[in-house]
Amino acid sequence: MKKYYFLLFTFMMLACDEEPTFQIQEVTINIEPNFKIEEVDPFYRKITFINLTDTINAPATISLRWIWGDGKFTKNPDLDTLSHIYPQGDSTFYITLQLLRAKDNELVAEKKDSLTFVDFPIEEPYSITLDSPEVYAWEGAVSWVNDDSSKMVKNTYLTLALDENFENIVDIHRGHLSNANPKESNKIGNINSFHFKHLQSNTQYFGRLSFEKDKGLSTERTFQFTTNTITPPLLELNTSQEGGFLYVVNSKGNSVEKLPQNVSKLVLNINHKLNLIYQKGDTLVYAKPFYQDVSFKSYEETKNRSNNERSDSVTVEYISEQKNMYFTKSENLFSGEENNIGARVYTYQNLYRLFIGDLTSAPTFDKNGIHITLGNVIPRKNTYFYLNSNNTKLVHNDIKGEIGLFGGMEISSYRLFIFEVENDTIYAGINNLVNNNEAKFKLNFKDPSIDSTFEASIDQLLFHTLPLNE
């Protein structure tokens, strides 16, 4: 125990003619300066101290002074717990708590301690866990979890780059589109996932997330992912030897999660000109060429980028059956060898008629087969000739009378499409206006007034007319 001495002067006057007498008394004060460092906040450079000195029993002649070690001090604070904010720097700060004689600030006693901020690493304000990124050919996604839901993240910033040093920045919204405007740091709001769009395939990307509490105080997480390689399209050819139409399925090989479907396009090259009948989804339907082999080649290509990329090509081949007519039919439609079935134009009552049936003999108005009255002129190419029960009849040997077309819910209009008229040869096929594409190329014959049980049909009809016995 240190003793602190103070002189007390006692003046005694016994009589007017006597000299005064002074007495010196020794007083011992049993206090000693003491403090502790309660808390260190290395980010805000704030230290909290607690004064442990027994100031209650200290005489009024004693004062207290804190010397912070950065050129500043505090004298006689009201509270025993107080904080001090230090300037930036890695130097050591020496803290001193002094007891002073109030009269002349003479030092009575002191206690010293020191602190270096580098000994106190800055803790992350948030605990964040990243999930594994999701990747596609032209997209990527990252998600994360705030492990302490009680601590709401104030601001979140995101950066995407092509290098781990984040020098080659990528626009997090527009990727590599021609109108991209990459920014080094993008405020993305209080969310827990982000989806990158319009990326390049088979490319490594580096990302950085900054979860900010205050400027300069944040939790940072980095991630990386490599996008998938472009997959070639799925190209299939569906047809039959009898049917007159080619069903080409041309589908994109690269799935998209958040991107619109038009982020890329399919390019289909065909080495011969074909007549496209219709397209539904990924299926394109073409009329068969009569005597030509056809090659289909497809690839997928991005759009609206500074540097568009494309997949490898896929090729399928169609080998022609070298036929002048394609069709399927019900067994009761008409008799004759299928090799002898063909189409030919003849005239009856000064009108052109199209006959479909056995061509081993010349067609006449009453010959077994399908008879279509065209009129007094041959229809022009690239036109529809509408069929009905008046101009389209089936003559059948087993039935007395002509059977007309029979409509149905799925067929709005029967139509014959004229692809070409060349050297008196008509190239044509059935192309109905329908509610259901299964009836697109079909003719149904039925007339209950003639025969209530008879019904016949021809489907997938495509032909070019022939001279007799060709």
Q: What is the pTM of this model?
A: 0.70
What pLDDT score was predicted for residue 468? Answer: 56
Share of the chain above pLDDT 90, in %: 71
What pLDDT score was predicted for residue 9? Answer: 41
Q: Report pLDDT digits (tens) over 68-117.
A: 999 999 999 989 999 999 998 878 999 999 999 888 889 999 999 999 98
Q: Report pLDDT digits (tens) over 333-377.
A: 987 778 899 999 999 999 999 999 999 899 999 999 999 999 999
What pLDDT score was predicted for residue 167? Answer: 96
- The answer, yes or no, to whether residue 467 has pLDDT greater than 80, is no
Of residues 14 and 122, more confidently modeled: 122
Average pLDDT over residues 263-267: 93
Exposed/middle/buried for 288, CB within 10 Å: 0-12, 13-18, 19+?
buried
How far is 458 from 443, CA to CA, in rounded Å?
5
Q: Report pLDDT digits (tens) over 387-428.
A: 999 999 999 988 888 999 998 788 999 999 999 999 889 999
Of residues 262 and 303, more confidently modeled: 303
What pLDDT score was predicted for residue 17? Answer: 54
Of residues 131 and 18, more confidently modeled: 131
Structural domains in the chain?
5-119 (2.60.40.10), 128-226 (2.60.40.10), 234-318 (2.60.40), 327-464 (no CATH)
How far is 304 from 343, CA to CA, in rounded Å?
49
Specify the range with the lowest mean pLDDT, choosing from 81-90, 267-276, 374-383: 81-90
Q: Report pLDDT digits (tens) over 425-465.
A: 999 999 999 998 989 999 999 999 999 899 999 999 999 99
